[in-house]
Amino acid sequence: MKRDEIIYDHDHNHDGVDRRGFLKCMTWAGTGALCVMRGGVLSSYALGEASKKKMAGDLSFVQISDSHMGFNKPANPDVRATLQVALDRIDALATKPEFLIHTGDITHLSRPEQFDTVGQMLTGKDVFYVPGEHDNIDDNGKGYLDRFGKNTQGAGWYSFDKKGVHFIGLVNVVNLKAGGLGTLGPEQLEWLEKDVKHLSHSTPIVVFAHIPLWTVYQDWGWGTEDSGQALSYLKKFGSVTVLNGHIHQIMQKVEGNITFHTACSTAFPQPQPGAASGPGPMKVPPEQLRGLLGITDVNYVRGKHALAVIDSTLA
Amino acid sequence: MEKQTSRKSLASKAVVVTVFAATLITAARMHGAASREQSASPQEVKIDNFSFSTPELTVAAGTEVTWVNRDDIPHTVFSEDGSFHSKALDTDDKYTFKFAKPGTYHYFCSIHPKMTGEIIVK
């Protein structure tokens, strides 16, 4: 069954920040749902379309997220298989991505064998990672940093440039405080300010981090305490795209020059904000599961202010 | 000398505490609910669907509290003051801490910090 769901289209009560022209809408992956924001920059299409169509552009890359290697509960007893499906879909894209971004929760429990499994499955691909809170369990992030965080700063933040686009990987999953949301922390914020200071205003910026850098749902911790500070450093740029994971579903929002986008998990879906008593994994019939898991394909067209973000599902 | 005085003083305090405790127990017996909360028998806090089943639990000093994770997702039990913390608890893993001293102990899940709870030790 295919269906589109616009959950709500105006909601800025969660974070106390006054926003105009705020639009938050949500499409369920796997349903062929389309979410278009007029004057905005995001479009999402079903995988069928994305995989066959050659996309015009100077740069394309793919976002995957929340592979949760090691998870084996009823919501998805085989997360390795669904990650492999995502990788096969990526290999089948007509527009070959230059690299992959993994927005965290690579593993479920930060165990060495879980990191290594994902590392082996992604061998041969150019992957840029940021850690999720599940990659930072019991070892202060050492397992993650040793494997995927070489040449990064602090808990694993860094930036790089590809074809004129400036990419920034941020870490908002360490030193979390009781009752709080994700946190970037003063050291990282200071680094970020310096990192973008000398870039020209016309440089397209892509920021990626695990927990959303906008408040999706405060009650479930789906937001980042000090993201406002980080985003203030990015206000001068004409085009900023923020890619996050963590919430295991697609959400998009445009706010001024900034487009926010969350990706599906390759492992298991989570409920819509507030649609359940808690954000625990959604158990769906096996035949529906792959329709709720996915990858995100991003295509940058030089000279335009838009990054086209296409979410694809594993169905 | 000083030591002895101190001991004497402690001893008299102990008598007062014992009498007070006995009064409390009597009072607790008269109020069923209170006696259940303040029992020194081991207590359990379940973790499920990103929450602690008993976010506020009152126990008597010396009570062992065991957290058991019934969620599909790993969680931790971290005290805010650093006095106790578990490793990550996967599904069905348990963590036990004995609360020897009276006080209010705030704790949270360090992976999902929106999950908070407190143990009140009387």
CATH code: domain of residue B51: 2.60.40.420
* B121 has pLDDT over 90: yes
The pLDDT, as a whole number, for residue A34 is: 27
* Cross-chain Cβ contact B74/A108 below 8 Å: yes
| pTM strictly above 0.80 | no
- DSSP structure string for A15-36: S----SS-EEEEE-TTTT----
The interface residues of chain B toward chain A in range 16-75, judged by CB-CB distance below 8 A, are 48-51, 71-74
Say how far apart CA A93 and CA A186 lie, in whole Å: 40
Domain match, B48 and B74 both: yes
**Measured between alpha carbons, how far is residue B89 from residues A13, A177, A296, B68, B82 in Å?**
34, 19, 31, 8, 18
Q: Average pLDDT, whole number, for chain B?
A: 78
Domain match, B105 and B60 both: yes
Domain match, B14 and B52 both: no
B23 pLDDT tier (thresholds 50, 70, 90)? very low
The pLDDT, as a whole number, for residue B107 is: 97
Domains of chain B: total: 2
A39 closest CA partner among A250, A254, A234:
A254
Instruction: Give me the tens of pLDDT residue by residue for chain A, a chain 315 residues long.
Output: 233 222 222 233 333 222 222 222 222 222 222 222 223 343 444 334 555 666 556 677 888 889 999 998 888 888 898 888 888 877 877 777 888 889 999 999 999 999 999 999 999 999 999 999 999 999 989 999 999 999 999 999 999 998 888 999 999 999 999 999 999 999 999 999 999 999 999 888 889 999 999 888 888 888 999 999 999 999 999 888 888 888 887 777 778 888 888 877 778 888 887 778 888 887 777 777 777 777 666 666 554 445 566 666 665
The pLDDT, as a whole number, for residue A49 is: 52
Domain match, B21 and B54 both: no
* Cross-chain Cβ contact B111/A134 below 8 Å: yes
Q: Which CATH superfamily is domain A23-313 in?
A: Metallo-dependent phosphatases (3.60.21.10)
* Cross-chain Cβ contact B113/A110 below 8 Å: no
Other Cβ atoms less than 10 A from the Cβ of A179: the count is 13
The pLDDT, as a whole number, for residue A129 is: 97
Say how far apart CA B102 and CA B122 lie, in whole Å: 5
Kindly state the percentage of chain B with pLDDT values over 70. Answer: 68
**Is B92 within 8 Å of chain A by CB?**
no
The pLDDT, as a whole number, for residue A298 is: 66
Closest CA in chain A for residue B114? A179
The pLDDT, as a whole number, for residue A193 is: 98
* Cross-chain Cβ contact A73/B72 below 8 Å: yes
Closest CA in chain B for residue A178? B113
For residue A219, the chain B residues in CB contact (below 8 A) are: 114
Domain match, B65 and B97 both: yes
For residue A288, the distance in angstroms to the closest alpha carbon of chain B comes to 19
Closest CA in chain A for residue B71? A280
Domain match, B28 and B49 both: no
Domain match, B47 and B67 both: yes
Say how far apart CA A170 and CA A104 lie, in whole Å: 11
**Is B82 within 8 Å of chain A by CB?**
no
Domain match, B23 and B77 both: no
Domain match, B59 and B85 both: yes
Domain match, B85 and B30 both: no
Domain match, B44 and B99 both: yes
Nearest by CB to B116, from A179, A219, A220: name it. A179
Closest CA in chain B for residue A68? B73
* Cross-chain Cβ contact A178/B87 below 8 Å: no
For residue B83, the chain A residues in CB contact (below 8 A) are: none
Say how far apart CA A175 and CA B22 lie, in whole Å: 44
Residues sharing a CB contact under 8 Å with residue A144, sequence separation 6 or more, in sequence order: A106, A110, A115, A129, A131, A135, A136, A156
Name the strands in the sheet holding A165-169, side by side, starting at the edge strand that comes first in the sequence: A23-27, A250-255, A258-262, A240-244, A205-209, A165-169, A158-162
Tell me which residue range forms the domain holding B8. Answer: 2-36
The pLDDT, as a whole number, for residue B78 is: 95
What confidence tens digit (pLDDT) does each residue in B50-88 have?
999 999 999 999 999 999 999 989 999 999 999 999 999
Domain match, B92 and B65 both: yes
The pLDDT, as a whole number, for residue A310 is: 63
What confidence tens digit (pLDDT) does each residue in B32-54 have?
444 444 557 899 999 999 999 99
The single-letter code of the amino acid at A61 is F
Closest CA in chain A for residue B70? A280
CB A289 within 8 A of CB A82: yes
Say how far apart CA A257 and CA A234 lie, in whole Å: 9
